[in-house]
Amino acid sequence: TPLVRLTACDKSYGNIIALGGISLEVDAGEVTCVLGDNGAGKSTLIKIIAGLHKPSHGSYEVDGVPVTFDSPREALERGIATVYQDLAVVPLMPVWRNFFLGNEVRKRLGPVRRLDIDFMRKTTKKELLDMGIDLRDVDQPIGTLSGGERQCVAISRAVYFGAKVLILDEPTAALGVKQSGVVLKYIVQARERGLGVIFITHNPHHAYPVGDRFLLLKRGKAIGYYSKDEITRDE
């Protein structure tokens, strides 16, 4: 069974069809890229997979078990983590403190106030290093990191707190060439660790080198769903 299986999903807002008949599968150790211009339905698709919006029709399963959409935390609790473009980080707080921010921490480790600061600093440094980022100083405010590094911290954080699937919302959109490269390398790392990745982007040059499958959206419709092989063959 795939980690994520979306079957023939529709989503309408009044008489606007934001998504029509979208199917998508994500396996462990696989990157699915979702490409489309503004208004293609990317945000709507993210909200469905993140468990925040119930599709008007169609089904959504995680590990073969239907998502009920009874609670906004359901998908997250089942391992679907979203890293949004406008990251939920507190710029003036140290990197390590941002790493240990949020509900997932409490669930896995208990209240933060009971955790040892040195444990949090070392863990942050180690987790980043394991994914290939050597931050000399995890005490610096996260706001002093580059946009690419901040994305990487957010990705590492989700991995550490047990995500099985990462939804990355335009993680390279606001970045230059070099920083985009850092994030793309990180995406490959996450895949190598066996996560399923859903990489939302409007940039084919970023999708192509890291993607295993490609869903092309236009005005809410799938105009293509290709494996890497198919794309290479068609060229």
Q: Does 18 bind ligand ADP (CB under 6 A)?
A: yes
CB-CB contact of 102 with 160 (8 Å): no
Do the beta carbons of residue 46 and residue 4 sit within 8 Å? no
Segment contacting ligand ADP by CB under 6 A, of 2-10, 11-19, 57-65, 190-198: 11-19
Q: Is 119 an interacting residue with respect to ligand ADP (CB under 6 A)?
A: no
Q: In the bound complex, what is the minimum distance in angstroms from residue 49's beta carbon to ligand ADP?
A: 12
CA atoms of 61 and 111, how far apart (whole Å): 31
**Backbone angle region of 220, left / alpha / beta, with phi > 0 → left and psi within -120 to 50 → alpha:** left
Among 6, 26, 40, 133, binds ligand ADP (CB under 6 A): 40
> From CA 49, how far away is CA 225, in angstroms rounded?
17
Which string of x and - marks every residue 162-201 that binds ligand ADP (by CB under 6 A)? ----------------------------------------
Choice between 40 and 163, CB closer to ligand ADP: 40
Which tokens go with 149? Answer: 């590094």
46-58 burial, b at 16+ Cβ within 10 Å, e below that, comes to: bbbbbbebebeeb
* Total residues in contact with ligand ADP, by rule CB under 6 A: 11
Is residue 39 close enough to count as binding ligand ADP by CB under 6 A?
yes
Q: Which is nearer to ligand ADP, 162 or 204 (CB)?
A: 204
Scored b (16 or more CB within 10 A) or e, 62-96 reads beeeebeeeeeebbbeebbbbbeeebebeeeebbb
Question: Is the CB of residue 50 less than 8 Å from the CB of residue 82?
Answer: yes
State in angstroms the smallest separation of the CB of 9 from ligand ADP. 12
CA 8 to chain centre: 22
Interface pick for ligand ADP out of 36, 79, 171, 211 (rule CB under 6 A): 36
Distance CA 24, CA 14 (A): 24
**CB under 6 A: which stretch of 35-43, 101-109, 121-129, 156-164 binds ligand ADP?**
35-43
Which range of residues in 40-48, 139-147, 149-157, 207-215 is near ligand ADP by CB under 6 A?
40-48
Residue number, 7 or 43, with CB nearest to ligand ADP: 43
Looking at the Cβ atoms of 36 and 51, the one nearer to ligand ADP is: 36
For binding to ligand ADP (CB under 6 A), which residues are involved? Answer: 13, 16, 18, 36, 38-44
